[in-house]
Amino acid sequence: MQIWADALKKEGFNVRTKPNISSSVVYQAIRSKQVTLYPEYTGTIALSYLNKNIVGKNEKQIATIARNGVQKEGLTTLSYAPGNDAQGIAIRTSIAKRYGIKNISDLQKKANKIRFASQGEFDKREDGILGLEKVYGKFNFKNHKVYDPSLKYQILEKGEGDITPASTTEGQLATGKYFALTDNKHFWPPYNLVPLIRKSTLDSDPRIAKILNKVNKKLTTKELQNLNKQVDVDGHSYQYVASKWVEENY
């Protein structure tokens, strides 16, 4: 939100931000014209808002489903960013090197050496362990315990666990201590960052699309990890991090 706002302001637009709107109401807010633009994910639009089946679909197909589906609400999407905030599994880098684990197939084969710091819900969801095992096979972990999600990286940092469910843009993944295992059988669909905007707003000034598309080209998964690291790990405000990024990249 803040990066897009700062880029638009730099081009002379008057932008008012509304941070911390609950994800459960923000789609309704843009449909009811309380919001004109916000950052969403292609997968969220297609799956959660449009109830479309996106299993096995690639990022372009999901983005197309999202764009076509929101048109009836007077909305549209712009070009999606390469950054993908998908579900994933984070592993301690030291453990991955010790056992030669780079992807989820490697993890499945060597699960008996790995301690899984889970979040409970992940174990029972079809987009969690239940579904993973249908695609990759049974995971016979050495140890499998449930922790509060907010403590997951502390558990790994203390050496009390080796892997944990994660989103692929989390800042801790940019520290070098952890990385997200490659989903080599493409179990999880992509969730690319995308601007969701009211069509009337875009029609009023097509420059908006040009500005945001220029920004989004640079928002790779690695770049989003680095930005999140500066906030979640290094302790900077998101306003400062966004302002600095726009100054250097736009």
Q: Which residue, 183, 177, 137, 185, is CA-closest to 161?
A: 177
Assigned domain for 186 exists: no
The reply to whether 43 and 21 lie within a common domain is: yes
Residue 142 sits in the same domain as residue 161:
yes
pLDDT in tens, 9-25: 999 999 999 998 988 89
Whether residues 92 and 166 fall in one domain:
yes
Q: Which CATH number covers residue 152?
A: 3.40.190.120
Domain that holds residue 159: 87-181
Q: Let me know whether 79 and 92 are in one domain.
A: no
Whether residue 161 is found in the same domain as residue 142 = yes
Instruction: Give the CATH number for residue 72.
Output: 3.40.190.10
Same domain, 4 and 77: yes
Pairing of strands 87-92, 163-167: antiparallel
pLDDT tens-place string over residues 101-146 = 999 999 999 999 999 999 888 988 888 999 999 999 999 999 999 9
- Predicted model pTM: 0.92
**What does R_g of the chain's alpha carbons equal in angstroms?**
19
Assess whether 228 and 177 both reside in one domain.
no
Q: If you count them, how many residues does the chain have?
A: 250
Domain count, the chain: 2
Instruction: Return the closest-CA partner of residue 177 out of 193, 163, 192.
Output: 163
